[in-house]
Amino acid sequence: MLLQLLSGTAVYGKIESGKPIIVSKRTIALIAVLALSGSLAAPATIAAQQLVAANFDPMTLPEAPTPQPSVLYSSSIQAQQQTMTPAESPAPAQTDTRSASQKALDQEEHQRMLGVIPNFNTVMSGEAPPIDAKQKFHLFFKSSVDPFQFVAAGADALFEQALDSYPEYHQGFKGYSKRYGAAFADGFDGNFFGNAVLPSIFHQDPRYFRMGHGTFRHRFWYALSTTVMCKGDNGNWQFNYSNLAGNFIGGAISNVYYPAADRGFGLTMERGATVSAEGALGSLAVEFYPDVMQHFRNRRKVVVPAASAPATPPQP
């Protein structure tokens, strides 16, 4: 059909078998021209292909540019690598705080008044790191089993026996033993709840933070106020639930071993108030004891009289 369109003639109908096909001279000439053009173009095409193949060198082609990550993408990759790379982290702050508080406790556990009375629950400098629950129980146990506590309980029982306190205990060694046990239990119970259990629950510091400076009046009232005020583990001053509640809990427990005539709610409240007042006096003693000792040390200093001083040689 294509040859028909190019020749300008058309064949209508079907070609019958046995009859010759009539083709015009115009069509024959066109076919000859196309054949000659094809024969001439084929060698040129083959030569061009051979020339391109001979000159083609894959090494001379420029390399494709390497894709570079964007700034945001590279930053995210670096951040991810830093996150995934384990870095040496500094020691936890809690470990450092506990080491500092333990160092302060080791120093406090060697403090004594008059060389014999334990002063373990006092921060002489006025500042110290908070102590955890384990350290609070350790401090309680250290102060409760100190030899001075056994001597103090014995002296207290001896004094009560001399006054015939708690007559139902009677006299003699048996009565003295009961008074001794009650006196030691009073101190132990109050110390256990007021300096260990409740401070751990309320997160309060059971120690006394000595002021050591200022006017006498200011320090006097400060020492008394520590009966009802204390430092929390967070360093802030707050109501001293631990001390007051511990004193009254100890008074309530004493109903178990005191004679029946010395039991009851009224006596429990009286014992709790008495122990609280004694604690306030103890705070005064701790606050001013170093000043008193310094005063006596200054008086004992030897002052060289002016007459005994070596004479100054006369100036020429």
| Local structure of residue 13 (DSSP, 8 states) | S
Mean pLDDT check: name the lowest of 27-41, 230-244, 288-302.
27-41
Per-residue tokens: 60: 């001379």
Mean pLDDT, residues 178-182 taken together: 94
Highest mean pLDDT: which range of 50-59, 86-95, 97-106: 97-106
Structure pTM?
A: 0.64
Given a cut of 70, whether residue 316 has pLDDT beyond it is: no
Question: Which tens digit of pLDDT belongs to each residue from 131-159?
Answer: 999 999 999 999 999 999 999 999 999 99
Closest CA to 151 of 114, 176, 180: 180
Q: Where are the alpha helices (DSSP H) in 11-120?
A: 25-55, 71-84, 93-108
List C-alpha distances in Å: 251 to 9, 82, 212, 278.
Answer: 135, 60, 32, 14
In the chain, the percentage of residues whose pLDDT exceeds 70 is: 65
Given a cut of 60, whether residue 243 has pLDDT beyond it is: yes
Residue 132 has what pLDDT? 93
Alpha carbons within 13 A on the beta-carbon side of 156? 17
Mean pLDDT check: name the lowest of 1-10, 62-71, 269-278.
1-10
| Local structure of residue 122 (DSSP, 8 states) | E
For 50-87, b where at least 16 C-beta lie within 10 A, e where not — what string?
Answer: eeeeeeeeeeeeeeeeeeeeeeeeeeeeeeeeeeeeee
Given a cut of 50, whether residue 196 has pLDDT beyond it is: yes
Residue 93 has what pLDDT? 58
Question: Which tens digit of pLDDT belongs to each residue from 57-73?
Answer: 444 444 545 545 444 44
In the chain, the percentage of residues whose pLDDT exceeds 90 is: 52
Strand (E) or helix (H) holding 237: strand 237-239
Q: 245 or 2, which is more confident?
A: 245
Query: Cα separation of 32 and 27, whole Å?
Result: 9
**What residues contact 111, with CB distance under 8 A and at least 6 apart?**
118, 119, 120, 122, 124
Question: Which tens digit of pLDDT belongs to each residue from 14-45?
Answer: 434 444 444 444 444 444 444 444 444 444 44
Q: 19 or 196, which is more confident?
A: 196
Quote the distance between the C-alpha of residue 21 and its chain's center: 109
Residue 314 has what pLDDT? 54
Mean pLDDT check: name the lowest of 34-48, 62-76, 174-188, 265-279.
34-48
Q: 310 or 118, which is more confident?
A: 118
Residue 312 has what pLDDT? 58
The model's confidence at residue 245, banded by pLDDT at 50, 70 and 90, is very high
Mean pLDDT, residues 158-182 taken together: 93
Residue 85 has what pLDDT? 44
Domain chopping of the chain, boundaries: 131-298
Given a cut of 80, whether residue 222 has pLDDT beyond it is: yes
| Local structure of residue 186 (DSSP, 8 states) | H
As a whole number, the mean pLDDT across the chain is 77
Closest CA to 266 of 244, 246, 248: 248
Residue 49 has what pLDDT? 45
